[in-house]
Amino acid sequence: MRVLVTGIAGFLGSHVAERLLARGDEVVGLDNFDPFYERAVKERNLAGVAGRASVVEADLCDARLLEELFSRGTFDAVVHLAALAGVRPSIEAPARYQEVNVVGTARLAEALVRHGIKRLVFASSSSVYGDNTDLPYAEDQRVDRPASPYAASKRAGELLLETFHKLHGIHVSCLRYFTVYGPRQRPEMAIHKFCRLVDRGEPVPVFGDGQSSRDYTYVDDAIDGTIAALDRAPHGFTIYNLGNTQPVTLARLVELIGTAVGKTPLVEQRPEQPGDVLRTWAAVDRAAADLGYHPKVAIEEGLRRFVAWMRAQP
């Protein structure tokens, strides 16, 4: 199978590409190396696919460059992971997030239609649930009250692709990832940042009272679900939660990080941040039934693996 992976130099993209290559697929990657974090980090992410995947540096919003890429050869499927990420940064640059995450997705979908490509896996987010109090979150719940421009952009992407499915017959799997962590996680995300701070003996900023909770999903489990969506998802338009199903409070997360690092965390209490939600918790029944998705890595083991990876970095 020949697969296009957008956002290949990112956290999830590099893992997806490695998994596809390991089973013998041909991978073409697209990434614009956006300066949201250092290019050197993204280039290190690509070390595992160097010489095996073809990586094209281009922007999804550039229709001409996108058309050139698709004209070089057809794809059996596309895994669309490229996006501007982050709840808090989206509050500072809301228009930019809509441009990249919504317009970029529309450009890509147009290219699929022009070139007759029928299979798309789309990276959505648990952020679309907003501050929903009906737990755990199921895919058929209302998601029309996003708490950030980032969340709004991901929900808009889902709606846009549902329209393309209805109009053009593209088979779409939207994956609502729940706080994925593990080796290569973006450096500004909580687990990565907190592990570094604890390891250095520096204060960890805890926003709110520490009782907010997240459904933290280890990257290997998230990639299992992603590949299964590519291979097994039924034809049509379907949304899947990919989570661990075991929420952890912020206070408990800091304790567990201390254990994984082997140092006592220094906590610095701070006010709650705009755009943050109180809790996330995934119901994964649909993913289990359709994709055979069953998360395996508990938070304690995932943190141990992450710390080992972190300490091996240059």
33 φψ region: left (φ > 0), alpha (ψ -120 to 50), beta (else): left
β-pair partners for 26: 2
pLDDT for the residue numbered 276: 83
pLDDT 10s digits, 122-144: 999 999 999 999 999 999 999 99
Is residue 314 assigned to a domain? no
Q: For residue range 274-312, list pLDDT tens digits in order.
A: 878 899 999 999 999 999 999 999 999 999 999 999 999
Residue type for 246, please?
Answer: Q
Judge whether 118 lies within some domain: yes
pTM beyond 0.85: the answer is: yes
Going from the first residue of the chain to its last (314 residues), give the mean pLDDT of each consecutive group of 10, the final group possibly shorter. Answer: 98 98 98 93 96 96 95 96 95 97 98 97 97 94 95 98 98 98 96 98 93 97 98 97 97 98 95 87 98 98 98 91
Residue recorded with tokens 């890509």: 108
User: 204 lies in a domain?
Assistant: no
Ranges of beta strands (E only) in 114-170 are 119-125
50 within domain boundaries = yes
Is 234 a member of any domain?
yes
Domain count, the chain: 1
End-to-end CA distance of the chain: 35
Identify the active-site residue in 150, 181, 216, 240.
150
Q: What pLDDT, on a 0 to 100 scale, did the predictor assign at position 309?
A: 98
Which pLDDT value is given to residue 273? 82
| Residue 168 domain boundaries | 2-181+218-243+281-295
293 is catalytic: no
CATH code, 68: 3.40.50.720
